[in-house]
Amino acid sequence: MKVILKKDIANLGKTGEIKTVRDGYGRNFLMPRGLVEAATPGAMKAWKNSEDKRGRRVTAENAGLQELVKKISGITLSFSRPVAEDGAMFGSVAKSDIMKNLAAADIEIHKDMIKLPASIKAVGVFEVDIALKPEIVAKVKITVTAQTK
């Protein structure tokens, strides 16, 4: 089944691309969520006609995201966790902790945007990527210190 992507979909493509997907995936997953539209001749013609308007909207959206990247890059998040005498850290810094601290700074992001392969389980300074879009990535600095008793 041929579909037109209405939104960027990881591992499939970007908005406006025409892709071939399996019938069940397109009908049962993508279409009900409003992510794609069947690539009929009428739909493809309408999609081409609205291309300029979409391009302006995407440009404005990307400019706003670039401002957010500057704001996020200037932030350093600090976390304090208990540490044993041998240096082992009790607890960790997870995506949810990062989200909460960014929300406190009036930056709302989704958990999946934070590119953290595993929770931080060591004391030190780390840089974590936040993918606002696949091509727009911000880096936030995270400092983990030993908690004093």
- Single pTM value for the model: 0.70
Identify the burial level of 36 via C-beta atoms within 10 angstroms of its C-beta, where 0-12 means exposed, 13-18 middle and 19 or more buried. buried
Pairing verdict, β 76-81 and 36-38: unpaired
Whole-number pLDDT of residue 51: 83
In the chain, where the domains are located: 2-49, 75-146
User: What fold characterizes domain 2-49?
Assistant: Ribosomal Protein L9; domain 1 (3.40.5)
Whole-number pLDDT of residue 147: 84
Class for the domain spanning 75-146? alpha beta
The one-digit pLDDT tens for each residue of the chain (149 residues) are 999 998 888 889 888 889 999 999 999 999 999 999 999 999 888 888 888 888 888 889 889 889 989 998 888 999 999 988 887 888 889 999 999 999 998 888 888 889 998 999 989 999 999 998 888 899 999 999 988 76
